[in-house]
Structure formats: C-alpha cells, structure tokens
Amino acid sequence: MVWQDRKRWAWAMSVVWPLIPFTGLWAHHASGWQIALGLPLLISYGLLPLLDAILGEDRNNPPEAVVPQLEADTYYRWLTWATVPLHFVALIGCAWWVGTHELSWWAVLMLAYVAGADSGLGLNTAHELGHKQNPWEQWLARLALAVPAYGHFTVEHVRGHHRWVATPEDHASARMGESIYRFALRELPGGIRRAWMLESERLRALGRSPWSRHNTMLQSYAISALLQGGLIVAFGWVMLPFLAIHNAVAWWQLTSANYVEHYGLLRRRSSGAGEHEGGTGYEAPQPHHSWNTNHLVTNLVTFHLQRHSDHHAHPLRRYQSLRHFEALPQLPSGYFGMFPLAYVPWLWFRVMDPRLLALPQVEGDLGKVNIDPKRREALVKRYGTRPAVAASSGPA
C-alpha cells in the first residue's frame, strides 16, 4: 500500500522548537530591551494557541496497513535523537547570556523561566524516547532528563503512571475538583518516591544495590550534576538562582501536562482485569481514559504528545503512528492554551467540569469520575449524583 505522511517534513518543527529561547536572545541583542528576552513566552502562549485556533485540528490517521512501515522509518527516529543535544544547547546558551550580560534581576528571572519552559519540552522528548525498548533510546532519554535534573521520570512514568493511570491511586492523574497547585503537592514528591521504589525493586531482583552505577535514575542525576555544576563554575553564583528557577519551571511544565491529560477520568474496577493489569484491580487503560487534542500546530512541536489517548492505550507506538479516535474526551485547545487555563482554578473548573460530566462514559454520574475526596461534598452539592449536563465533550 502506498501512503504518504503529509506531515513528514513538518515534524521537523519538534526539532527546532527547543531553540525558541534564542529568539529572545536575538531580540534582546537587536533592541537592547531586556523585556525582549520574554519573546519565547509570547510565541508559546500567545501565537501557538492562536495558530491552533486558526488552523484547527488534524484528525487524519495513518492506515493500519502502513503502520509497520511508518514505525520502521528511521527518519522519524533521527528527529527525536537530534532533539536531545539541542536541549543542552538551549540551556547553555541561556546560561551564557546571563553570565556574560549585565541584566536586571527580573531579566535573569525571566530568562530562567524561558529556559525552564524550554527544558520542559526536553521532558517531552524523554517521554517519547523513554517508552522505547532499546538501550540507545533509553540512554538518550536519560540525557534529556538530565537537563532539568528530572532523572526519575522514565522509571516513574513507564512503570508507575502507565500502570495506575486514571485511578485514585495514581498521583500523576488529577482528580475532579483538585486545583493544579494541590495536584502538584501530590504529583511532584509522589513521582520521586515511586520511581525510587520501582528502580530499587528492579535492582534488588538483579542482586544489585540501588546505590550503584546501574541505577538509571542516578545515572541521569550524575549528568545533571556535571552539567549544572559546570555552568556554576563557568558563569558564577548567578547560576544558582537561574538554575533553581529553570529546574522548577521545567518540572512545573510536566506537572501541567499531567494535570490536563487525565483530569477527572476514571478506570472502572474489574475483578477480571486485576491479573491482566499487574494486580491493579482496574480495567486495562483505554483511549477514553486520557484527554486528547488534535490541534495541529501544538502537536507538531511536541511529537504528537497531545494524541495522548492512543499513547496510553498503546504506549509502544511511535509518535508518527498515534491515532485519533472518535468520541474521545477532547480538550478545547492545545496544551499551550490549556496550561494557562489550569493556572486559574475557578476558570478551569468552569470550563472542564461540565465537559468531564458530559462524557459518554460519565453521563453526569459523579460516581464515574476520579473525584477529589476533599471536594466530594461540595461537588455533590453542586452537581448532584446524576445532573443534567448540556455541555459538549467535543472541541470548542
């Protein structure tokens, strides 16, 4: 069967996007205005949502007959591999700018935020690579995670989150009524704890100590120490606040993605699914257990991360093969539009709670959502157990 991926060359946007901080450096150099360092934020959170709204969604799927050919095409792999060193380039470039220019304190903070938001994309690159089962891509994932010092992510995500996704037990699945700020207090420390437990169990089963060079988390953290320690030596103590903010913002980007990807969605209890799902006692993850979005532009700069529904149902699929399914939970915008919405909890609840309750698998029944126990009484009072919900779950 002959089939041509119409987005084949457009996927290169995912490769060049990590270099977006350099637009701010160029604008500062050209204008002399320190505020110009924030240009990447304007592009990311202003221009991208606008382009998503104008260009709309791409719901096209590759035919199943060509998926093996598509997955075997090394062009797509080279794009993810080439992206990894660019995350190092972006951070080092921003650090060099801070270390070699006279900047106001607020400009240093702004550039740290820009660099951190960019390194959050590095976590997305590591997400794509970390699901692959060959040592080369696993190592590339650890390198990408080293940039924002988030070396535990692949262990936690692949062996923890994917097993428990859309259940009350998963700290990386947001609950209905839970603000992103309360969610972060569960998700951030919970991820580190679970990753260490899982990696320790793996190593002990092999007869090795968790505190050894075989610990994949420690391998990535060691590279982080070399990278960020080297920046401090090269550019001085100004790197301490710069890197602290950079790391925190990168982590916050991942928290933001986790928050919007599974908000309120719940897998059913199933006595028959427990053994199949490694003893979780829940049905196997299905496409409707993740919020999906097909907004074209944001998907092109994030290696199709927003086709999250197919990813959780088939986690080994490469980004170019991920599919759209009809009647899925759909977000009203791409991630760069959804993140700012999540940062205003009352507005997020107003937009997303009716959309959640209108889903076919929920039908207004609060017993079918992953609900925040601390907010249960208030939500029952507001919505009842089976409210009449008129909001559409489709794209706005």
Give me the percent of the chain exceeding a pLDDT of 90: 91
Q: What mean pLDDT is predicted for residues 102-116? A: 98
The mean pLDDT of the chain is 93
Amino acid identity, position 55:
L
Tell me: the pLDDT tens digits for 250-263? 999 999 999 999 99
Q: Closest Cα to residue 13, out of 248, 264, 298, 244?
A: 298
Residue 169 confidence (pLDDT) above 50: yes
Q: What mean pLDDT is predicted for residues 60-73? A: 92
pTM: 0.93
The CA distance from 112 to 145, in Å, is: 17
Q: What mean pLDDT is predicted for residues 192-200? A: 98
pLDDT of residue 272: 57
Q: What mean pLDDT is predicted for residues 235-256? A: 98
Residue 18 confidence (pLDDT) above 50: yes
pLDDT of residue 326: 87
Tell me: the pLDDT tens digits for 317-337? 999 999 998 889 999 999 999
pLDDT of residue 270: 77
Q: How far apart are the first and last CA of the chain?
A: 36
pLDDT of residue 388: 44
Residue 276 confidence (pLDDT) above 70: no
Measured over all CA atoms, what is the biggest interatomic distance in the chain, rounded to whole angstroms? 65
Confidence of residue 393 (pLDDT cuts 50, 70, 90): very low
Residue 372 confidence (pLDDT) above 50: yes
Residue 351 confidence (pLDDT) above 80: yes
Residue 387 confidence (pLDDT) above 80: no
Q: What mean pLDDT is predicted for residues 220-235? A: 98
The CA distance from 134 to 125, in Å, is: 15
SS3 328: coil
Confidence of residue 384 (pLDDT cuts 50, 70, 90): confident
Q: Which helix (H) or strand (E) holds 257?
A: helix 239-262
